[in-house]
Amino acid sequence: MTSLGPQALRGLKVLELGTLIAGPFAARILGEFGAEVIKIEAPEGGDPLRNWRKLHQGTSLWWWVQGRNKRSVAVDLRRAEGQEIARTLARHADVVIENFRPGTLEKWNLGYDQLSRDNPGLVLVRLSGYGQTGPYRDRPGFGAIGEAMGGLRYMTGHPDRPPARVGISLGDSLAGLYGVIGALVALQHRQANGGKGQIVDVALYEAVFSMLESTLPEYGMTGFVRERSGGALPGITPSNTYRCKDGGWVVIGANGDSIFRRLVTAMERPDLAADPGLASNSGRTAHAAELDAAIEEWTGRHDLEDALAILHRAEVPAARIYSIADIVRDPHYAARGMIETARLRGGEDILLPAVVPKLSATPGGTRAIGPDLGEHTAEVLREAGYDDQRQRELRDKGVIR
C-alpha cells in the first residue's frame, strides 16, 4: 500500500448494507476513491463472502480486496435496536447501498421513506436480480441468473456446445458499476440542481442487457438472432482466436481495413491484400471462415512468441491469452502499477489488484485491507452517539458485536 494524497470522494459518507458481490463491489469502488464506507454485517458470521473460495487462516483471500477501505460494524438488522442503529448511521450518510431482495429493507423498517425522512438528500442504491418493480421483482437472483436473462449466456460459448459462462461473477460486477454511476449521477443532481436524494434502482439482468451492443436493433429490424460463435466476434472480421505451432493461442483483432492489410502483408499473403472483395469489413465478413482458415494456417507455422513478435512489428493488435500467472509476471502490469502488495495482520504479504481508473490528480488506492468482523463497531457507534454503557447493553443482547 502506498501513501495517498487527496482523493476525489473524500468526505463522502457511504453506508453499505449489502452482502457478497454487487452491493459490496459498488461500495468498494467508492471507497477506493476516498469515500468513508461503513459496512454493516451480521454479528454471526458477517458477510458470507468472508468464507468464499480460497481461505487463508480462516478468511477468504477475496475478502481482503472486496472489504478494503471499509469499516466493519457488526449489527443485527433483524432486531429493532439494530434497525435503529442503521437509521442513525443513515442520517449522516450521503449514500446507502443495499442488494437484498426487494421488500427486505421495508420489512426491517429501513425503506427509503423512513431513511429519507431525516435525511432528504440521501441517495439509496438498490441492486437486485430483477429490479424493484415488475412481475419478477420478488424472485431471488444472482449474477449468473442476470447473465442468463440479460442475454449474455445465450451468445457465450461454441455453437456445438451448451451456453458457457466466464469464470467470474460478471453480472454482479456490472450491476455494481452501474450502481456507482447511478450514485454519482444522483449526487451531482443533488449538488448542481438543488435536488433532493433519490433511489437508484439497478437490476442485474438490465446491467447485463445494456452490454449487448447491436443485438436488439438487429433483431428488431431484421429478426436476426446472434448465436454462439466461440472465439470469434460476429460481424467483425477478422477477430478471433488462433492456434499456434506450439499449441499456444493468439487473439488477433485485425478488423480495421488498414490493420487487415498490415496483417496479411505480415503473413506474406499479397493476394489477400490486393483482393478488392476483402477491402471492407462487410466483404471480409462474407468470407470469415476462409480468412480464419488462412490466418490459422499461418499461425500454425509459428510458435506463439514468434507469431506475436511478427504481429507486433506489423502493428497488428494481438495478444496471448493471459492466465493470472502471466499477469503477475507481465512487465506492463508492473510498469502501470496494477498489482499492489499489502501486509496482512499476521505479517504475510498479499497481492491486490490496483484501482481502476487512474486519475492524474486524485488517484484512488488502498488505505486499508478488509477489516475483521466488527472491528470498528465500537468507534463508529461512539461517533454516532452510543456511549460505552449503551454499547455494552446492546452487546449483551447480541444486537452488536
**Does 117 reside within a domain?**
yes
Same domain as 287, residue 382:
no
pLDDT above 90: percentage of residues in the chain: 97
The pLDDT of residue 2 is: 56
The domain that holds 292 is classified in CATH as 3.30.1540.10
Length of the chain: 401
- In whole angstroms, give the CA distance from residue 100 to residue 87: 17
Same domain as 256, residue 159:
no
Same domain as 297, residue 271:
yes
* Counts of helices then strands in the chain (DSSP H, E): 18, 13
The pLDDT of residue 5 is: 81
The pLDDT of residue 195 is: 81
Low-confidence ranges of the chain (pLDDT < 70): 1-3
Active site residues: 172
The domain that holds 21 is classified in CATH as 3.40.50.10540
Same domain as 191, residue 59:
yes
Same domain as 94, residue 147:
yes
The pLDDT of residue 3 is: 63
**Does 264 reside within a domain?**
yes
Q: How many domains does the chain have?
A: 2
The pLDDT of residue 6 is: 87
Same domain as 119, residue 50:
yes
**Does 260 reside within a domain?**
yes
Contact 387, 95 (CB under 8 A): no
**Does 287 reside within a domain?**
yes
Same domain as 349, residue 202:
yes
What are the cell numbers at 95?
449514500
**Does 8 reside within a domain?**
no
Same domain as 383, residue 260:
no
Final residue in a domain of this structure, among 294, 322, 350:
322
**Does 109 reside within a domain?**
yes
Domain coverage including residue 126: 13-211+335-396
Same domain as 172, residue 317:
no
Same domain as 249, residue 162:
no
Query: How many CB atoms lie under 10 A from the CB of residue 334?
Result: 12
Contact 175, 204 (CB under 8 A): yes
Final residue in a domain of this structure, among 322, 351, 382:
322
User: Kind of pairing, strands 249-253 and 339-343?
Assistant: unpaired
The pLDDT of residue 18 is: 92
pTM greater than 0.85: yes
* Chain centre distance of CA 21: 9
- In whole angstroms, give the CA distance from residue 53 to residue 57: 13
The residue behind cell 506475436 is 308
Q: What are phi and psi of 365, to 5 degrees?
A: 175, 180
**Does 83 reside within a domain?**
yes
- In whole angstroms, give the CA distance from residue 389 to residue 377: 14
Residues 6+ apart with CB under 8 A from 72: 39, 41, 46, 371, 372, 373, 374, 375, 376, 377
Final residue in a domain of this structure, among 322, 357, 382:
322
Contact 119, 38 (CB under 8 A): no
**Does 223 reside within a domain?**
no
